[in-house]
Structure 1
Amino acid sequence: MSGLDALLVSLQLSDSAFPSGFYTLSHGLEGYAQAKAIDAESLPRLLADLLRHSVGPSDATALALAHRAALGGDWETVIAVDRRLQAAKLNREVSVAATRTGQQMLDVAQETFGGPMIAHYWNLVTAKRVPCCQAVAAGIVYAGTGVSAERAVASDLFAFSASFVGAAMRLRLTDHRIAQVLLRQAADVITEVTAEALVRELADLGGCVPIADVMSGMHERAEARLFAT
């Protein structure tokens, strides 16, 4: 696959139109909003903190590890990464959302891109050997379509950020114009987090943002919810 083809794949997979269900998630933001613990001023800091301390050490790291292992044909490591990532997701709704969006992404990717790597991982999923977390599924799809690990991790982090900012708009915490400013401001953090994720090992996988876990737990029990998480 040419560099341009790989770029187009990464754009397609990170686009909100790709039907993985990723953009139905608020990534804990709705819990913060319900608790009145977030406003327009603190929104950029929360996004940066989640990237650095939650998504980066967990999902981005899992994506990079799965991508590397799949390219090397090391499927036992892929299985270990997938299981460890699911174990690191402490809240039920977050864990369920990760596997639901992962399976949906993989299902659509099979039809859209195909290829032996994606098919092999699908067989592991159907055999119930892996939970199919979204980040691991993304890593396999990116690897199977010739997208580099660096571009894959950066694309997925951007997709997370765009989903987070989209949720903020729907929760009326920001508007369309400021949302674009927030995404641009997150670019340096995404670059930083990408570089860190690429050099972590399996033992390093796992984020730690206790307040986000508390907000997610409160959200799970809320009487009314706009988002799945």
Structure 2
Amino acid sequence: MRAGPAPGAGVGAPRRSGRGGRPWAPGLVLALLALLALARVAGMAASPARGPLAGTLIVVDPGHGGVDRGACHLPSNTVESEITLAFSFLLRDLLREQGARVLLTRTRDEDLDLDPRIEIANANRADYFLSIHVNWFPDPSCFGAQTFYFPGREESRRLALLVQDELKKVDPANFREIQTGRYRVLRLTRMPGVLVELGFVDSPHDRAFLHDPERRRQLAEAIVRGVIRHRRGEVGPEPAPDLRDR
């Protein structure tokens, strides 16, 4: 991912997991059916019958994978595709503890195009779509987790406000606000959805979060709290007027 340093702005698009991708080929249809079959089974039975998210189905999308490693900081062995997968497993477990059924768009280091990710969410009629990424910008002073939503989707915007509010509680130094993103995975999924950038690979501040198990757990718990608040009908705090809907 790529971002500029301005508060609440400048975070760029996911290179593969948010837009673009390869054209459909006939062979992909069979592969998609297999993916959907696996999706309907994986992770569906371990959730408790009760909890604030009982009765919800949430699709968690670990960005990138396979040959598409995403954003990397090789001196610290920080690789986006690896972080997003490990984080998504943690997020899945925490969501299940709150009663949700959870599907992952990928469960291993594989090269998965955009449309199968979208179709897993749509075909299973998920209640939420959470796409997980890590950002990149060459200035190491650029830091902070940030939440994106597709413009014009009011429920997604409300979800983004709540998730970002919780992420900022985990890291009070984080000044970033929600931002719109015209990413394919957000545009074509039919349920409230957000894309969460967990931090910047070039930022020592953010790498401390990304590589520390307890801090990663805090970020995951923040996302879960944001989803729960959305489910309860809450409205998150609005950014300052000059930072809204950028």
Larger relative contact order (C-alpha < 8 A, sep ≥ 6)? 1
TM-score when scaled to structure 1?
0.36
Q: Which has the higher helix share?
A: 1
Q: Which has the higher strand share?
A: 2
